[in-house]
Amino acid sequence: MTSTWTSTEQVVCIKAPGGPEQMQLQAVETGMPGAGEVRVRHKACGLNYIDIYHRNGSYPLPMPAGLGMEGSGVVEAVGEGVMHLAVGDRVAYASPPPGAYATARVLPARSVCKLPDNIDFETGAAMMLKGLTAQYLLRRTLPQGGLQAGDTVLFHAAAGGVGLIACQWARALGLRLIGTAGSDEKCALALQAGAAHVINYRREPDFAARVRELTEGRGVKVVYDSVGADTWEGSLNSLAPFGLLASFGNASGVVPPLNLGQLAAKGSLYVTRPTLFTHLSTREASQAMADELFAMVSSGAIKIPVEQRYPLAEVVQAHRDMEARKTTGCSVLLV
């Protein structure tokens, strides 16, 4: 390969924010990596709710734009200064900028990690963004005094991709995880994954009251909330004094403006809005987090539930299914 080598790849692009129909599969010339970059030939690409936020404009992107934040495949070329990867390496990543919905791409090498031989490409593509999210939440986004075995946490959307991984990770840590989900079937999945208790919020909309009942009135040390507007008030009401609300997504809409007085009135609470890519901002942090995830998956403590598979050309249907909440566990695009 030379520095001028290019190939024509199939890439999902949008020209304007909007519905799933905005996504178009296009032939795009893809070149060689520059300094600090790597070129990956994809085997599979992960599907995540953040992709919907990018597509519909909730998280604005310069147009035209690619979509997708995680994938797995084989290294085709490495740029100057990249020392941890070589041509032919099996890899997986979660990384900005968006663009994983493609047969191949060039991206920053910082967050691209070698994939252990005992983890297949579908699992690798499905687990990086969701698994690393569960890692930074349960291991790095902690309430006052940290979390110890026996502590109780509340995790919304416990049957989603992140949630099912978090249920398993919490069980491995000895935590008592209370999960919420929107159907009895999804509640059953969360229980099977390791949740100690589940709440069907469609049948019990006042989930905070149920949380208080399950904790003998104390509340939980931390709430991990990716739902947003619909659960915000109940999440605050579920916390013990000095508890932490980690709001890491807004699937139901953006949370309302925060009245700091509420935090005082409800028990000197803490609130944070963390993001995965802040945690992945250095090569060292990316590798340390990935190593812990790989170890948990390789040991069998965490199984990655790939429940939906779509060809790259069926990405529109994949997004429709995600938005209709028809999916459970993890979904991937196959390349």
* 114 plus 11 within the same structural domain: yes
Q: Is residue 297 part of a domain?
A: yes
Q: Is residue 235 part of a domain?
A: yes
Give residue-wise pLDDT tens across range 87-124.
999 999 999 899 999 999 999 999 999 999 999 999 99
* 48 plus 124 within the same structural domain: yes
Cβ neighbors of 67 (< 8 A, separation 6 or more) are 12, 13, 14, 23, 51, 54, 55, 98, 99, 100, 101
* 207 plus 298 within the same structural domain: no
Instruction: Residue 95: give the domain boundaries.
Output: 7-130+277-334
Give residue-wise pLDDT tens across range 60-93.
999 999 999 999 999 999 999 999 999 999 999 9
Mean pLDDT of 303-320: 95
Number of domains in the chain: 2
- CATH number of the domain where residue 261 is located: 3.40.50.720
* 193 plus 265 within the same structural domain: yes
Q: Give me the percent of the chain exceeding a pLDDT of 70.
A: 99
Q: Is residue 196 part of a domain?
A: yes
User: Would the pLDDT of 161 be above 90?
Assistant: no
Q: How far apart are CA 331 and CA 335, in angstroms?
A: 13
Which of 247, 273, 299 finishes a domain? Answer: 273
pLDDT the model gives residue 326: 84
* 293 plus 176 within the same structural domain: no
* 297 plus 259 within the same structural domain: no
Bigger pLDDT: 282 vs 85? 85
Q: 79 φ, ψ to 5°?
A: -85, 175
pLDDT the model gives residue 2: 40
* 231 plus 246 within the same structural domain: yes
Mean pLDDT of 267-293: 93
Q: How far apart are CA 277 and CA 282, in angstroms?
A: 9
Residue 114 pairs in a beta bridge with 91
- CATH number of the domain where residue 109 is located: 3.90.180.10
Q: Is residue 218 part of a domain?
A: yes
* Helix axes of 161-173 and 184-193: crossing angle, nearest 10 degrees: 40
Mean pLDDT of 26-37: 94
* 84 plus 20 within the same structural domain: yes
Q: How far apart are CA 68 and CA 91, in angstroms?
A: 16
Q: Which of 181-185, 271-275, 294-298 is predicted least confidently?
A: 181-185
pTM equals 0.89
- Mean per-residue pLDDT over the chain, rounded: 94
Q: Is residue 135 part of a domain?
A: no
Which of 228, 252, 273 finishes a domain? Answer: 273
Q: Is residue 168 part of a domain?
A: yes
Mean pLDDT of 157-170: 93
Q: Is residue 225 part of a domain?
A: yes
* 98 plus 217 within the same structural domain: no
- Of the candidates 110, 111, 115, 108, which has an alpha carbon nearest to the alpha carbon of residue 94? 111
* 290 plus 258 within the same structural domain: no
Contact (CB, 8 A) for 168 and 193 = yes
* 114 plus 184 within the same structural domain: no
* 180 plus 287 within the same structural domain: no
Q: Is residue 136 part of a domain?
A: no
Which of 222, 243, 273 finishes a domain? Answer: 273
- Of the candidates 236, 261, 237, which has an alpha carbon nearest to the alpha carbon of residue 246? 236
